[in-house]
């Protein structure tokens, strides 16, 4: 089953904005190239909050946070983007 990534982005954008909202992130547009660490300022604790919120918002089972972190650290190009979260969520939705 193919999942529309733009649709997934629209579904998780409010979750990202809520987790990142410390007053400074509200003016930052959240798109596929947004970096959750450098652009949105998510700390490791906020990343955990994000994964729990994604599980609730999308009706997912357990979000594989350590797997995602390991994959992003291994990338030669820019990692920890919203695109990587959207793709992981789409994969989880497709296989649920």
Neighbours of 3 (CB within 10 A): 14
Residue of 79, 96, 65, 85 lying closest to 8 (CA atoms): 85
Q: Residues in the chain with pLDDT < 70?
A: 1, 22-27
Determine the pLDDT at residue 87: 95
We report the CATH number of the domain holding residue 23 as 1.10.1200.10
Query: Position of tokens 């992130």?
Result: 25
Instruction: Give per-residue pLDDT as tens, 47-60.
Output: 999 999 999 999 99
Q: What is the model's pLDDT at position 74? A: 93
Give pLDDT, residue 47: 92
Do 78 and 47 form a contact (C-beta atoms < 8 A)?
no
pLDDT, residue 10, reads 95
Kindly tell me the sign of the dihedral angle through the C-alpha atoms of 30, 8, 67, 75. Answer: negative
Element (H, E) at 85: helix 82-94
Number of domains observed in the structure of the chain: 1
The residue range of the domain holding 18 is 5-94
pLDDT (0 to 100) of residue 96: 82
- What pTM value is reported for the model? 0.88
């Amino acid at each position: 089953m193919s999942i529309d990534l733009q649709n997934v982005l629209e579904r998780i954008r409010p979750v990202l904005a809520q987790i990142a909202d410390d007053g400074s992130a509200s003016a930052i547009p959240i798109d596929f190239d947004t970096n959750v660490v450098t652009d949105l300022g998510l700390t490791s604790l906020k990343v955990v909050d994000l994964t729990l919120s994604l599980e609730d918002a999308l009706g997912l089972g357990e979000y594989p946070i350590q797997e995602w972190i390991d994959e992003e650290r291994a990338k030669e190009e820019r990692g920890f983007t919203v695109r990587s979260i959207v793709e992981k969520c789409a994969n989880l939705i497709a296989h649920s």
